[in-house]
Chain A
């Protein structure tokens, strides 16, 4: 905030960029601890920059595939996924390296490598690359911005200084973000934890169901307030210094199915997965087996969202989270195909326009979303215990 107030007063673009770069590196320094983390970060950035430049000069498929495999393998080793630990050498498992924002840097790096290979990145100065990857407004938890969009803002870096209404709006949004994170999110988590700890002691079905409903709603509420609050702060903060970050939320709990949901919740992740996982995978498979497009679409939806779930964390609960999301999007597409086949495209259009069906779909999807988020807390045993207890009391 102080940086944004100062940056407004600086007339030179180069000085504004320098100040923002200092803020980026200062923020990074405050978040990274330990020599191993610094070494991993420097290796990641240096290899990322060199690989991208190399792909610009020599756009060979073999180079791209080799680099992407090495990149993803390195990421998996550093993240130490619980289901891969038994397969990793003990020397690697004992080395825990935490690199701040690595998951988001990975997305940006894959995007850069693919776009460079396809001739979509014309210029990549090292200075801009570092500020893109280490941009403090997206370093720790996104939003995932494309390099081309970042470049547009970086080349101008025109702070909001003349437009009083826009400046007020930006500060108000930062304030709303603070309220979400500091006031609305914590009680949701506290009550959730209190209920979850004592849940197995409940003996009457009605009490258990009522508390289960609260558990089901409280964790999604906590994550929504926390994450959307953070996004409010970084998007508004970035706008004050002249950077336009992409929006990450669009009324996610009003989605009518899981495909719709992933265009509303953590949108930049949903769009990234669509562009760099679903589209190339589906395209490659359909070109190979053109007669099986519908089945391939369902498989690709599942794979894309299963991987999205896995990316969220390295523990077993995220495997379940990924499976549920994968099944959810595949089921949504499957339902659409069944309906279109049964009632035709016009009939499907009417179905989509019906307010009653829309309301019903929103309620059903909201509860499915809550069920997927029930697997967000790392204690998978406790989540299973709660679900089993409710099942046993009800049936």
Chain B
């Protein structure tokens, strides 16, 4: 399940950041992806919600952009939402 989610998230990242070469690693942070600022973050959330059929809470959206949060944290959260 995690691999499928990772592939879907990767595709969303590629579309949002306009980089078809982008390969996601779980340890990646916002600083590792060119253009991942606050506006791109909310665009990413909107695209993820549409693609994966999940909804993120306000607190979750801001937490995902905090220091120490990684692509792995996003995967964990999506996986948790998919299981619920």
Residues of A whose CB lies within 8 Å of any CB of B are: 114-115, 118-120, 146, 148, 259, 271, 274-276, 278-280, 282-283, 286-287, 293, 297, 333, 340, 345-346, 349
Closest residue on chain A to residue B19 by CB atoms: A345
The reply on B39 being an interface residue by CB < 8 A is yes
Question: What are the residues of chain A within 8 A of B31 when measuring CB–CB?
Answer: none
Verify B62–A275 contact, CB threshold 8 A: yes
Closest residue on chain A to residue B62 by CB atoms: A275
**Given known A-B contacts A287-B46, A349-B34, A333 and B58 have beta carbons under 8 A apart:** no
Verify A279–B58 contact, CB threshold 8 A: yes
Verify A283–B46 contact, CB threshold 8 A: yes
User: How many Cβ-Cβ contacts under 8 Å join chain A to chain B?
Assistant: 48
Determine the distance from Cα of A271 to Cα of B57 in the docked complex, in whole angstroms: 15
Verify B58–A274 contact, CB threshold 8 A: no
For the complex, count residues of B whose C-beta is within 8 A of A: 16
Residues of B whose CB lies within 8 Å of any CB of A are: 18-19, 34-35, 38-39, 42-43, 45-46, 57-62
Determine the distance from Cα of A346 to Cα of B34 in the docked complex, in whole angstroms: 9
Determine the distance from Cα of A345 to Cα of B19 in the docked complex, in whole angstroms: 10
Determine the distance from Cα of A204 to Cα of B60 in the docked complex, in whole angstroms: 57
Determine the distance from Cα of A118 to Cα of B46 in the docked complex, in whole angstroms: 17
Verify B42–A279 contact, CB threshold 8 A: yes
Secondary structure of the B contact surface, majority rule: helix
Min C-beta distance of B36 to chain A, whole Å:
11
Secondary structure of the A contact surface, majority rule: helix
Given B34, B39, B57, B60, which contacts A345 in the complex, CB threshold below 8 Å? B34
With contacts A120-B58, A278-B38, A279-B42 known, what are 14 further pairs, Cβ within 8 A?
A: A115-B58, A118-B58, A118-B59, A120-B57, A148-B59, A271-B62, A274-B62, A275-B61, A275-B62, A280-B58, A282-B42, A283-B46, A297-B39, A333-B39
